[in-house]
Homo-oligomer: A and B are copies of this chain.
Amino acid sequence: MITKKEILDILESYDRDSIAIATVCSHSSLQIFDGARKEGFRTIGICVGAPPKFYDAFPKARPDEFFVVKDYGEILSRADELAEKNAIIIPHGSFVEYLGAHNFMKLRLPSFGNRHVLEWESDREMSRNWLESAGIKMPRQIKNPEDIDSPMMIKYYGAKGGMGFFVVKNYSDFRKRINPAEKYTIQEFVLGTRYYMHYFYSPIKKDGYALSRGTLELLGIDRRVESNADEIFRIGSPTELAEAEIYPTFVVTGNQPLMIRESLLPKIFDMGEKVVEKSIDLFGGMIGPFCLETVVTDTLELKVFEISARIVAGTNLYISGSPYSDLVEENLSTGRRIAKEIRMAKQMDLLPEVIS
């Protein structure tokens, strides 16, 4: 794994007046490029094979330059070329997935945020420890599938984008559907409505919602659209469909905007605060965007079923601002907020605080 010292050495060689923002051409790249350009940065789109043509349709988000690789692994071996372009990497879900978390840890380029968070986020047990030790309420988890006596969500380890999730109601359901070759967790299916909160933690900004150091923002909320779970009720109930061996699946196909009761905002900021503070204790702190994925019950309790410690695709809805970010600053996407943080860090001579 690359050390912070090595990263700082690379950064030292950069021409700080011509930093480029680079990311993989997928996931949330449109807003990352658009936001970077709005903050005055050059942009580099990393892609496999050939530049994706679809950027031609979005002139404001088209990267200034494409960095074409044969496969994602090549990003590692050609990191020095990106370093010569003064590239700061913005990791997103697909970036990390395509490259592999393991490889990402070795990438010899300054990356926005704290890459140690990856270990904590990608391991379901470590992330549960982090959140629960921060005082966050999570769905109950059980070890023994024989104890399943109410709806439970089964998630395979490393399942991405909701693939490999399923719901069972009892042990017999479980046995019928489980692939015993794979590692899984069993989590209570909490009844309620889902809200995915998009936070931003800045270790260097002073004005705002103050934490032990730095400040916390809420830039938006979305709900993930899951195929086929969202529309399967149109043909039958889970029990009726199970007879035909049709099961709900939870693959994320997109996102819908929504807002939460204003009276829940104190809780929401409190949760964000606790998660950040605990991350500082555990591994030096998350930096930048993160998302708490919650269910709000009918007693207005918030249960967190997952954390994403980087930009999530739900923020794509808010390329020109959300009902929350509009109260911070006009026209503020999460992509732009990231670029703004880098610009601010540069101006304050604090770049080492926001990269790793």
Contacts and interface: CB of A to CB of B under 8 A. Distances in A.
A230 interface: yes
Contacts of A30: 262, 327
A225 B258 contact: yes
Contact of A60 (B228, B298, B326): B326
A167 B355 CA distance: 53
A266 B259 CA distance: 28
A321 interface: yes
Contact of A193 (B221, B228, B313): B228
A166 to B, nearest CB: 11
Nearest to A254: B260
A232 B60 contact: no
Contacts of A240: 237-239
A96 to B, nearest CB: 14
A315 to B, nearest CB: 10
Interface residues of A, number: 93
Contacts of A210: 56
A59 B27 contact: no
A108 interface: no
B258 A227 contact: no
A53 B263 CA distance: 12
A259 B254 contact: yes
A179 interface: no
Contacts of A260: 253-254
A177 B140 CA distance: 28
Interface in A214-240: 215-218, 221, 223, 225-240
B228 A234 contact: no
A59 B207 contact: yes
Contacts of A29: 262
A218 B53 CA distance: 13
A253 B248 contact: no
A321 B193 CA distance: 25
A316 interface: yes
A193 B227 contact: yes
Interface in A247-298: 248-249, 251-266, 268-269, 296-298
Interface of A: 26-30, 34, 52-54, 56-61, 94, 151, 161, 163, 167, 169, 189, 191-195, 207-210, 215-218, 221, 223, 225-240, 246, 248-249, 251-266, 268-269, 296-300, 313, 316-321, 323-324, 326-330
